[in-house]
Amino acid sequence: MASPQTQLIEGLNALTAGLILLTAFGMVATRQVQGVMRFFIVQSVFLAASAFLIGFNRGSIHLVALGVITIGAKAIAIPLVLKRTLPGDLYERREIDQAINIPSSLLLALFLAIAAEFLVGPLVAVSADPVVHVNLPIGLAGILIGAYTLIARREAIPQLVGILAMENGAFFAGVAIAPDLPLIAELAIAIDVILIAVVIGVLTRDITRTVGTTEAATMSELKEEPQLWR
Amino acid sequence: MALMIAVSLPPLAALLCWIKPFRSVAWGITVVCLAGSFAAGIVVAAHILSNGIEVGIPNWFEADGLSGLVILLASFVCTLAALFAGGYMHHASEQSGRLWWFYCNYNLLTFALIVVPAFASPNLVWVGVELITLFAILLVGFESTPTALEAAWKYAILTLMGAPISLLGFFTLYWAYHLAGGAHLETWRGLYASAATMSPNLLKFSFLLVFVGFGAKAGLAPMHTWLPDAHSQAPTPICAVLSGIKTSVPLYAILRLLSIVLASPEARIGNWMVVIGLVSVGIAAFLLLQVRDYKRMFAYSTVEHMGIILTAAGFATHGGSSGAVAQLLNHSITKSLCFYAAGVVLISLGTRQIKEVRGLFRLSPFAGSALLLCSLAIAGAPPFPIFLSEFSILSAGLRSGHNAAVIVLAILIVIAFIAIFLQVNRMLFGNPEPASTSAFVPPSCRVAILIAALPVVVLGVYIPGPVHSLMMLASQQLGGH
C-alpha cells in the first residue's frame, strides 16, 4: 500500500491532468487569439506542475529540471518571441474564424478525449504505476484535441498554438512514461519547440506583409488544376 | 573524429556566412565547407567498411553502415546543390540582397540532414528531423511571393503537426525499452539488442505514431500534399535537396524503427507497410499522368520512390532490405540530377509549365540532353541504376511470396514510366516558340550537372567494390530473414 504522501501526490497529479484537459477544451471554446494564447500558457504551467509532482514523488531532479525548462520555454520564451516577431494587431483582440461552430467543436473534443482513453487502455496495462494510467490517456487526448483545433482554426497564430498544445500533450504523457530521458535530449526538444515558434512567427510576419492577411483559408492557389502562371 | 568533422563543418559555414565581412563570399564558403564535409563523409564510410562502426562520441554520435550511407548521400547532394545554387540563385532569384541569408540557412539545413543519421539516440533523431523541417520552411518561402509563402505555410503546418505525434512515439519507444530492462542511455544498437524482449503492443503503438509523424515529412501518401506545392515554389537547388535527401532522412528513421519492430517476433506489420507503400506509388503514378508543371512532376516521382522503398522494406527479407537500400541511394543521386536539369530549363525558358516548353533540344542542347538523361534514369529505363534496384525489389517480392503486391507494383511502375515519358517527350521535341530566345546556362550549373550525372551513368553498369560493401552493410542493419 502506498504511503499517504504518495497518494496525495498522485491525487494532485490527477487534478493537474483534469486541469490540462480543461485548458484544452478552453482553447477549443475561445474566440480570441489572445485568449487561446493565455490558455496555452496556463496549460504549460500545469504541465510543469505535473513534472514537479512526479519528480518529487520519485526523487528525480531530472523531472524538476524538466518542469523549469517547460515554464522557461513555453510560458515565458514563446509568448515573448511571438510578441516580438508579430505586429501587435495580429496578436491582440482578434476574432477567429472557425470551420465548425463552438458547441459542436466541444462535443467533438469530448469524443476525442474518450477515444484517447479507450485507445491506450490495452497499453497502460503493462505498467502498475498509477501516474502512467492518468498521464498517457490525457496526454494523447491533448494531442488529438490540439490536432483538431489546428484543423478547425483558420488563423495562423491559433494554428501555431494548436501545434504547441499538441506538444504539451506529448510531454504530459512523456513525464510519466519516459521520466529519465537524458537532460540534453529534453533541452534539445525545448529549444526545438521555441524554434518552431520563431520560424512560424517569421513566416506569419512575411505572409502578413505580402498577402495582407493571415487567414489560412484564403491561401488556396496551389493545387493540381489548370492555372495560369505569370 | 571524421564523423565529428563531417557534422561540424556545415554549422561552421553557417556561422561564417552570417558574419558581415564574409557575406559577399557566402557561396564560396558554403561550397568549400560542404565539400570538406563530403570528404569527411568518405573517410567515415572507409572507417565503417573496416571496423563496422564509426564512433564520434560513444552513445551520442555513432555511425553504422546505414548511417554512413545516408551521411555520404546527404553531404554529396547538399554539396552539389550548393554548387548549382551559385549560378542559379544569381540568375533566377529576385532576392539577391539576401543571398547570404539563403546560404546561412542552407548550411543549417545541411547540418540537420547530416546529423540525423549520425545520432545514436532515437530521441535526438527526433530533434534532428524537426530541425530539418524548420530550416527547410524558410528556404521554401525564400522568394517571398504569395504562392511561395503559401507553399511554405502548407508545408509547415502539415509537417509540424506530425512533430508532437512522433514525439509521443519516441517517448513510448523509450518506455518499452526501459520496461524491457534496457540501459540508461537509449541507442539504436541497444534497441536492436533488446527488440525481442520489448512489449510488442508498445512497439507497434510507438511505430504507428512515429510513422504518422515522419511519414508526412517523407512525403508518403496521403500526407504528401505539401510536397508538389513546395517543389514547384522553392528555389530549384532547395528542391534538389528536399526531394533528393530531405524525404529520405525521415524515411531512414522510419526504416530503422521498422527493422526493430520486425525483429520483435509478435509484431507483424510488414504487410501493412507493403500496402501503404503501394498506395503512395499508386497515387503518385496517376497524378504523374495529369501533371502540368515539370517541377511538380519530379515531386510526384519522389512520392512514388518513397512508396517503393517502403514496400521493399515491408517485404522483410534480405532481398527486400538490399533493394530498399539500393533504391534509397539511386533515388538520391538521380532525383537531385532531375532538379538540376529542371532548374536549367527554368532559367533558360522562364516557365514551369510543361505545355509552354517545346523543342528544348533545339533551344538548348545541354538542357535538353540533361533532361532526357535524368528522365530516363528516374523513370527506371534499363541501363540506369534505378532500373536495377526496382528489378531487384520486384524479384525479392516474388521470392518472399508477395506475388499480388509485385504485380501491382510492376504495373504502377510502368504507368509512372509512361507518364514521365509522355510529359518529357512534349518538352524535348517539336518546334520551339519563336519568342523564346535566351538559352543561357550558368557555368556552375553546368559543372554541377556534369558531376551529378557521373554516378547516375556509372552505377548502372558498374558498382565499385567499396560502394557495394557499404550497401550490403546498410541492408544488414535493416534486417530481414
Full DSSP string of B86-110: HHHHHHH-S-GGGHHHHHHHHHHHH
Rounded-to-integer distance, Cα B386 and Cα B333, Å = 10
Q: Does A229 contact B351 at a Cβ distance shorter than 8 Å? A: yes
pLDDT of residue B115: 93
Task: Quickly tell me which residue has 553557417 as its cell.
Answer: B14
pLDDT of residue A185: 79
Q: Answer with the residue of higher pLDDT: A217 or B312.
A: B312
Of the candidates B121, B152, B160, the beta carbon closest to that of A185 is on B121
Let me know how long chain B is.
Answer: 481
Of B60, B49, B68, the closest CA to residue B6 belongs to: B68
Of A15, A13, A46, A65, the closest CA to residue A165 belongs to: A46
Q: What percentage of chain B exceeds 70 in pLDDT? A: 98
Alpha-carbon Rg for chain B, nearest whole angstrom, is 21
Rounded-to-integer distance, Cα B365 and Cα A133, Å = 67
Torsion, CA B331, CA B332, CA B334, CA B335, rounded to 10 = 90
In this predicted structure, the answer to whether residue A225 has a pLDDT above a threshold of 60 is no
pLDDT of residue B270: 84
pLDDT of residue A82: 83
Q: What are the grid coordinates assigned to A93, written together?
A: 483582440
In this predicted structure, the answer to whether residue A229 has a pLDDT above a threshold of 50 is no
DSSP state of A75: I
Q: What is the largest CA-CA distance in chain A?
A: 74
User: Are B122 and B188 within 8 A, CB to CB?
Assistant: yes
Residues in B touching A159 (Cβ below 8 Å): 157
Q: In DSSP terms, which residues pair with B303 in a beta bridge?
A: none
pLDDT of residue B436: 58
Quote the pTM value. Answer: 0.92
Task: Quickly tell me which residue has 490525457 as its cell.
Answer: A138
Alpha-carbon Rg for chain A, nearest whole angstrom, is 19
Task: Quickly tell me which residue has 528542391 as its cell.
Answer: B239
Q: What is the pLDDT of residues A127-138, one digit of tens each?
A: 778 888 888 899
pLDDT of residue B437: 58
| pLDDT tier at A226, thresholds 50, 70, 90 | very low
Task: Quickly tell me which residue has 505586429 as its cell.
Answer: A87
pLDDT of residue A74: 86
| pLDDT tier at A227, thresholds 50, 70, 90 | very low
pLDDT of residue B307: 94
Q: Does A219 contact B163 at a Cβ distance shorter than 8 Å? A: no
Q: Does A170 contact B164 at a Cβ distance shorter than 8 Å? A: yes
Q: Does B164 contact A202 at a Cβ distance shorter than 8 Å? A: no
Evaluate the omega torsion of the peptide bond into residue B222 and state whether it is cis, within 30 degrees of 0: yes
Show which of residues 133-152 on chain A sit within 8 Å of chain B, judged by CB atoms. 139-140, 143, 146-147, 150
Q: Does B352 contact A174 at a Cβ distance shorter than 8 Å? A: no
Q: What percentage of chain A exceeds 90 in pLDDT? A: 14
For residue B69, the Cα-to-chain-centroid distance in whole angstroms is 12
Rounded-to-integer distance, Cα A146 and Cα B15, Å = 36
Of the candidates A120, A182, A199, the beta carbon closest to that of B138 is on A199
For A211, the 3-state DSSP assignment is coil
Cα angle B385, B391, B392; round to 5: 95
Q: What is the pLDDT of residues B222-246, one digit of tens each?
A: 888 888 889 888 999 999 999 999 9
HSE-CB for B130 with a 13 A CA cutoff: 30
Nearest CA distance, A66 vs chain B (angstrom): 14
The helix (H) or strand (E) run that includes residue A15 is helix A4-29
Task: Quickly tell me which residue has 540582397 as its cell.
Answer: B97
Cα angle B426, B430, B433; round to 5: 100
Rounded-to-integer distance, Cα B30 and Cα B11, Å = 10
Rounded-to-integer distance, Cα A47 and Cα B426, Å = 58
Q: Does B174 contact A163 at a Cβ distance shorter than 8 Å? A: no
Q: What is the pLDDT of residues A107-149, one digit of tens each?
A: 888 999 899 888 888 888 877 788 888 888 999 999 999 999 8
Q: Does B161 contact A163 at a Cβ distance shorter than 8 Å? A: yes
Rounded to a whole number, what is the distance in angstroms from the first to the last CA of chain A?
74
Of the candidates A127, A199, A211, the beta carbon closest to that of B137 is on A199
pLDDT of residue B481: 64
Of the candidates A177, A188, A211, the beta carbon closest to that of B149 is on A211
pLDDT of residue A46: 92
Torsion, CA B157, CA B159, CA B160, CA B164, rounded to 10 = 130
Of the candidates A123, A159, A224, the beta carbon closest to that of B202 is on A123
Of the candidates A170, A207, A226, the beta carbon closest to that of B171 is on A170
For B233, the 3-state DSSP assignment is helix
* Number of separate helices (H) and strands (E) present in chain B: 20, 2
Residues in A touching B208 (Cβ below 8 Å): none
| pLDDT tier at A179, thresholds 50, 70, 90 | confident
Q: Does A210 contact B175 at a Cβ distance shorter than 8 Å? A: no
- Residue of A224, A228, A230 for testing the chain B interface, max B β-carbons within 10 Å: A224
Angle in degrees, 0-180, between the axes of helices A33-58 and A4-29, rounded to the nearest 10: 170
Rounded-to-integer distance, Cα B481 and Cα B479, Å = 7
Nearest CA distance, A206 vs chain B (angstrom): 7
Residues in A touching B147 (Cβ below 8 Å): 221-222
Of A191, A218, A208, A228, the closest CA to residue A88 belongs to: A208
Residues in A touching B292 (Cβ below 8 Å): 226
Rounded-to-integer distance, Cα A180 and Cα A176, Å = 10
Show which of residues 4-63 on chain A sit within 8 Å of chain B, judged by CB atoms. none
Q: What are the grid coordinates assigned to A102, written together?
A: 463552438
Rounded-to-integer distance, Cα A92 and Cα A7, Å = 42
Within chain B, which residues score under 70 in pLDDT?
A: 267, 434-439, 480-481
Of the candidates B127, B156, B168, the beta carbon closest to that of A173 is on B168
In this predicted structure, the answer to whether residue A216 has a pLDDT above a threshold of 70 is no
Average pLDDT, chain A: 82
B147 vs A: CB within 8 A:
yes
Cα angle B220, B224, B230; round to 5: 130
Residues in A touching B126 (Cβ below 8 Å): 189
Q: In DSSP terms, which residues pair with B293 in a beta bridge?
A: B353
| pLDDT tier at A230, thresholds 50, 70, 90 | very low
pLDDT of residue B239: 92
| pLDDT tier at A91, thresholds 50, 70, 90 | low
- Residue of B57, B131, B160, B231 for testing the chain A interface, max A β-carbons within 10 Å: B160
Q: In DSSP terms, which residues pair with B55 in a beta bridge?
A: B62
Of B463, B465, B479, B129, the closest CA to residue B326 belongs to: B463
Of the candidates B149, B160, B228, the beta carbon closest to that of A206 is on B149
User: Are B54 and B240 within 8 A, CB to CB?
Assistant: no
B410 vs A: CB within 8 A:
no
Rounded-to-integer distance, Cα B165 and Cα A96, Å = 25
